[in-house]
């Protein structure tokens, strides 16, 4: 049976955020496992570093791609596009590639409008879309990442 490292990645994300973005706040939104489809959060985490608030969904994949169908928070995150001081997107760990990316929800929105259904780790940096490579170092299993680059994301991302 395959090991699901998603929840552990979320904990590692929080630890790395605290370590690499001093004087900031990061809160894990309660993960409802009640089974009610009407109960869902906007994202896994809400972070703040003056003057920006971040809505961040953490995802992991063993594949070369991350399918947008797995981003069930899309409809809520996309409502944050274009709001000054708000950053929203997905932090995706491509496990087999030892890569962590930040994909702004505005990028996912554009990709979906263009008919794409996923982010492909093999082609993203040759594309017209905006992605952020999170500087990361492979540990034994997980990546140790520096999320301070998120502070440089552009308005609406």
Which pLDDT tens digits describe the chain residue by residue (157 residues)? 455 677 889 999 999 999 999 999 999 997 665 555 556 799 999 999 999 999 999 999 999 999 999 999 999 999 999 999 999 999 999 999 999 999 999 999 999 999 999 999 988 877 889 999 999 999 888 899 999 999 987 765 5
The SS3 of residue 55 is strand
**How many domains are contained in the chain?**
1
pLDDT given for residue 102 in this prediction: 96
CA 34, CA 127: separation in Å to the nearest integer? 39
In a domain, 34, yes or no: no
In a domain, 1, yes or no: no
HSE (side-chain half, CA atoms, 13 Å) at 117: 2
In a domain, 139, yes or no: yes
In a domain, 146, yes or no: yes
pLDDT given for residue 1 in this prediction: 45
In a domain, 51, yes or no: yes
Residue 128 belongs to domain with CATH number: 3.40.1350.10
CA 145, CA 93: separation in Å to the nearest integer? 10
In a domain, 126, yes or no: yes
CA 144, CA 136: separation in Å to the nearest integer? 5
CA 71, CA 51: separation in Å to the nearest integer? 26
Instruction: Return the structure tokens found at 86.
Output: 């708000």
Q: Domain range holding 79?
A: 6-28+40-152
HSE (side-chain half, CA atoms, 13 Å) at 19: 9
In a domain, 144, yes or no: yes
pLDDT given for residue 23 in this prediction: 97
The DSSP bridge pattern shows strands 25-28 and 45-49 to be antiparallel
In a domain, 47, yes or no: yes
């Amino acid at each position: 049976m395959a090991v699901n490292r998603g929840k552990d990645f979320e904990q590692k994300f929080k630890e790395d955020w605290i370590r690499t973005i001093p004087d900031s706040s990061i809160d894990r939104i309660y993960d409802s496992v009640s089974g009610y489809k009407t109960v869902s959060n906007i994202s896994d985490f809400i972070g703040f570093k003056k003057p920006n608030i971040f809505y961040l969904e953490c995802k992991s994949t063993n594949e070369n791609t991350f399918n947008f169908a797995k981003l069930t928070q899309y409809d809520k995150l996309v409502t944050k596009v274009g709001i000054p001081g708000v950053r929203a997107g997905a932090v995706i760990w491509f496990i087999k590639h030892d890569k962590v990316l930040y994909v702004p929800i505005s990028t996912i929105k554009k990709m979906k409008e263009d008919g794409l259904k996923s982010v492909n780790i093999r082609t993203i940096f040759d594309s017209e879309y905006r992605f952020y490579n999170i500087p990361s170092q492979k540990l034994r299993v997980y990546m140790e990442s520096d999320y301070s680059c998120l502070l440089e994301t552009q308005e609406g991302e």
